Amino acid sequence: METRIAKLEELMTDTRERLVRIEERLEQCATKADLNEQIGDLRAEMHKGFADIIKWIVGTAIVMSGTGIVVMTFVLNNAVPKATPPAPLPPVVIYTQPAPAPQPKM
């Protein structure tokens, strides 16, 4: 019986040491409140990042559209050779003759 009690006491001291180590680890672990705070911070950073990305995409789309319009305007104005205007026609001159005088009736 003495040997069994000695083994149990030895196991008890070993168990106590393990329990102390577990409690020390638990003190270092984050609590639920700590995790909630970190999640809130992460969400705020993600929302800010998404907003920044959307701003860049919209800005880039506007600049690319403007650049496309400028290039198309340049190409359409300068790619086709301009036709020379036809030579002006000579002015139309209308000569009027005075109306003949009425002849007397006989």
The residue ranges of every structural domain in the chain are 1-30, 32-77
Its pTM stands at 0.47
Q: Tell me: pLDDT of 6 over 80.
A: yes
Spatial separation of the C-alpha atoms in residues 53 and 60, rounded to whole Å:
10
Amino acid (one-letter) located at 28: Q
Q: What's residue 78's pLDDT?
A: 83
- DSSP code of residue 104: P
Residue 106: pLDDT band with limits 50, 70, 90:
low
**DSSP 8-state code for residue 88:** P
Angle at 31 between CA 27 and CA 33, to 5 degrees: 145
